[in-house]
Homo-oligomer: A and B are copies of this chain.
Amino acid sequence: MAREPLTPKGGAKIADVARAAGVSIMTVSRALRGVEGVSMAKRDEIIALARELRYSPSSLAGSLAAAHSNLIGVSVPTLDDAVFSEIFETMRNAFLRSGFQTVFDTTDYATHREEEWVERMIAWRPAGIVLSGVDHSPRTKRMLLRSSIPTLEIWSHAQDPIDLCVGIDHFAAGYEMGQYLTGLGYKRPAYIGPRAVYDVRAQQRLDGLKSAFAEMGCTVDPCIRMAPPLSFEGGRLGMQRLLEGTLNPPDVSSILNDHMAFGALMECEARGISIPKDMGVVGFNGLRLNSVLNRRITTTVTPRAQMGERAASLLIAKISKAATVNTIKLPVKIVPGETSRDLQE
């Protein structure tokens, strides 16, 4: 057994601390974990000694022996989108407060990447797993279900959650925006977004939008499909494509998110198209950028921070086997800006 010891530079192990303190290994273990059953005096002495010996407990050994870890795995499609970095940040903070360590990966909206990640993650026996943004492969679902690891889906209010779910109703959000726009008198909407397979939630919103317009006998056309990154540049490029591809521009453009919508506005500005006079533009999410614009983009504000908060507490509750609901649906809010107007006026 001549292999290098796992502990840094052959650093102190629990046995070394025990020897130094003249107590058993178990007493050290209890003292360091703050578990009942050690006299105050001994505890303090042991803690001081451990520090002196620069003892660093091995989470690997600890979790293996204890049959549970404090790891929580979180998967998001991308950090490129401000939405997911906000949701993620809130969750991570909440988990940290409860003593959990977040392990994390991005999937680029690819279900097979998510599947591989779930498999790797399960191998670490985490306390919980959070999935977001994409639909999951059947194998992903199966693995998760069998693992009996508490699992939470965030962002979309799933109709058929694996376990727990916190999110918004994307179809309804799209529908509401559609109603708002038809209410203003818009009749020839266009759409700029990702390819359908790429982002299921976006597609659900588009379906909602279409549905609302269909009630007024209108179709959403054209639907410009962009490749990632779906941010500023994608929006500008999308609008360029939209305008160049038609002789009869739409009266309103619904765009995947506020950042893309901003890019689109820049393209309009460059072409001398006046918004909202010549065309309406609406985004999605209510991102921070919007708050500094002198002419704000009409958008649907999503409750990202709240979502992260609620998701974290729901998952933590489940991990500690507290009884709770399984599903939370959060509301969105349409916030009119100066990129749309009432056509009847």
Contacts and interface: CB of A to CB of B under 8 A. Distances in A.
Contacts of A124: 59-60
A285 interface: no
B293 A123 contact: no
Contacts of A293: 266
A147 B102 contact: no
Interface string A99-120: 0011111100000000000011
A322 interface: no
A138 interface: no
Copy tally for this chain in the complex stands at 2
A231 B287 CA distance: 11
A185 B143 CA distance: 65
B232 A291 contact: yes
B106 A104 contact: no
B101 A102 contact: no
Nearest to A260: B292
Contacts of A147: 8-9, 11, 56
A262 interface: yes
A149 to B, nearest CB: 7
A80 B84 CA distance: 10
B104 A60 contact: no
B92 A85 contact: no
Contacts of A4: 67
Contacts of A159: none
Nearest to A11: B146
A208 interface: no
A136 to B, nearest CB: 17
Contacts of A61: 64
B68 A233 contact: no
A85 B8 CA distance: 30
Contact of A79 (B11, B85, B146): B85
A190 to B, nearest CB: 19
A58 to B, nearest CB: 6
B269 A292 contact: no
A37 interface: no
B294 A270 contact: yes
Contact of A288 (B58, B89, B105, B231): B231
A236 interface: yes
A155 interface: no
Most chain B C-beta atoms within 10 Å of own C-beta, residue among A3, A101, A148: A101
Given A7-B125, A57-B123, A235-B292, 4 more contacts: A60-B64, A79-B85, A101-B103, A101-B105
Interface of A: 3-9, 11, 54, 56-64, 67-69, 78-80, 85, 88-89, 92, 96, 101-106, 119-120, 122-125, 143, 146-149, 229, 231-233, 235-236, 259, 262-263, 266-267, 269-270, 288-289, 291-294
Top-9 shortest CB links A-B: A8-B147, A79-B85, A59-B123, A6-B67, A232-B292, A263-B292, A236-B292, A60-B64, A104-B104
